[in-house]
Structure formats: C-alpha cells, structure tokens
C-alpha cells in the first residue's frame, strides 16, 4: 500500500515540521499552502496518495470545501485539523466525508497514531480469501475494488472508513455490535464521553443506504447496547 500523504496547511513552520516528522516515519509527504495549490497537487498525484490531511482554516478557502471536492473525486481517507474547541467543526467535517479529525494544537505522535490506524484498517479491509462480493438488500459490496453499488448499478460514494464500517456490519449481520467495538473498527480508539463521531458516521451511512433506521432498518439501534445490521447477507467469490 502507498505511504504518500498530502498535507495542506497555510502555516509554513507547521507544514515543514509535520513534513519532516512524517518523513522520519518513512512516509512520503507532499505539501500545499492553500486550497488552489492543494487541488492542483491532489489532481496531479491522486492515484499515489494514501491519505490527506486538511487544515480547516486556509487563506483562500476552507477545509470543508476541500473535503467536499476530494469526496467528489475519491474515497481516499481524510484527517481534518481544527483549531476550534467546539465540536461543530468536527461534526461538520465528518458529515462531509472526513474519516477522522484532530484538534490543534496536537501532539505529532497522536496524529501519527491516527494515520497508522487508518492505514492498518485499509490493509485489513483487503480480502485475503475467495469472497469478493457481499450482497444485501439490493446492494453489492466489491471487497477488491472497495465499491458499493445499488440495484440500479449506480456506485454509492463512501469514504474509506464508511466502507470499512459497512463491511464490518455486513460480515457480522444479526449480531448486536457494541458502540466501543464499532469505534475501534472505525477510529482505532475508544469513545470519549462526549464523542459523537460514531453517531455522525452511522447517520451518514444510513443516508447513503437510504435507510432511516425505521422502515428499511438495515442498521437498527439497540437501545443501551449498540447497533445491529438486520439485512440478510450473501457471500460470493465472483460476479
């Protein structure tokens, strides 16, 4: 798997320090100083990138707008950096398709841990057995191409973490999955007492599946316990 990261931050010192730190950890790092340079760099090297780090505050745009642009083009994992102590920025970022967030000022070691967790989950998401497709409720998951297709043949846009979460649900259909277990699968860490990131991600996933949690009820909330994926899932080795 590629270990190339694209970082956008308008502060030169922060940008250079992060680049140097990640390169010492054996990552290839590309940098951008604003939205325009980020888009140019992203489009030029999209196929080689394994992760994007977006600062929310930029001189010519904001990280939210860039997150939306990236999501229109790719499912590459996104970590957002926010200087706001308010949860609003973090929740908005997750709703727009970010995979994780970290508040400024941050410890580079924590950011590195988040990067490693995302890359580890991407590797674990690569199938090693004969099963390639999971089918349920008219949807087909391609575990090799990492795509979700509806019954009309249309590809459903999912982030890398959303795909991993849906796959985990589908592979454990019928089981009541505790929130802490789901959080570990998507974030690589435990839930904090005020952490709503899992709720936001499940809400986003339900929207992608056109599941309101009541009528089609693919992802059911089990009060006091967690969630259960209620669809019948079939496994296939080929199309």
- What CA dihedral angle connects 50, 207, 167 and 159, to 10 degrees? 0
- Contact of 213 with 221, CB cutoff 8 Å: yes
* Ramachandran quadrant class, 128 (left: phi over 0; alpha: psi -120 to 50; beta: rest): alpha
Domain 4-124 belongs to what topology? Rossmann fold (3.40.50)
pLDDT by 10s per residue, the chain, length 239: 568 999 999 999 999 999 999 999 999 999 999 999 999 999 998 889 999 999 999 999 999 999 999 988 888 899 999 887 667 777 787 788 888 888 888 888 889 888 887 887 776 555 544 678 899 999 999 988 889 999 899 999 888 888 989 988 988 888 888 888 888 776 665 555 556 778 888 888 998 888 755 555 789 988 888 898 988 888 887 65
Residue 179 and residue 139: Cα distance in Å, rounded? 24
Residue 126 and residue 130: Cα distance in Å, rounded? 12
* Domain regions of the chain by residue span: 4-124, 133-236
Residue 75 token pair: 């499912």
Q: Evaluate whether 4-124 and 133-236 have a shared fold.
A: no
Residue 238 and residue 226: Cα distance in Å, rounded? 32
Tell me if the pTM is above 0.75: no
Domain 133-236 belongs to what topology? Arc Repressor Mutant, subunit A (1.10.10)
């Amino acid at each position: 798997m590629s270990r190339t990261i694209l970082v956008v931050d308008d502060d030169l010192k922060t940008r250079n320090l992060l680049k140097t730190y990640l390169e010492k950890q054996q990552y290839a790092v590309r940098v951008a100083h604003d939205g325009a340079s980020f888009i140019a760099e992203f489009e030029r090297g999209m196929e080689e990138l394994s992760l994007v780090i977006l600062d929310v505050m930029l001189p010519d745009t904001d990280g939210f707008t860039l997150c939306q642009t990236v999501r229109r083009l790719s499912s590459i994992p996104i970590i957002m950096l926010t200087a706001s102590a308010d949860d609003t920025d973090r929740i908005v970022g997750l709703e727009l398709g970010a995979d994780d967030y970290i508040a400024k000022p941050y410890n580079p070691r924590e950011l590195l841990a988040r990067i490693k967790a995302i890359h580890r989950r991407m590797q674990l998401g690569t199938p090693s057995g004969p099963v390639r497709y999971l089918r349920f409720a008219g949807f087909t998951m391609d575990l090799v191409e990492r795509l979700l297709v509806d019954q009309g043949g249309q590809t459903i846009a999912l982030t890398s973490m959303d795909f991993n979460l849906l796959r985990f649900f589908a592979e454990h259909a019928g089981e009541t999955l505790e929130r802490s277990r789901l959080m570990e699968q998507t974030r690589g860490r435990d839930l904090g007492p005020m952490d709503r990131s899992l709720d936001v991600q499940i809400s986003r996933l339900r929207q992608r599946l056109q599941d309101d949690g009541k009528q089609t009820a693919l992802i059911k909330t089990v009060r006091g316990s967690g969630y259960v994926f209620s669809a019948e899932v079939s496994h296939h080795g080929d199309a």
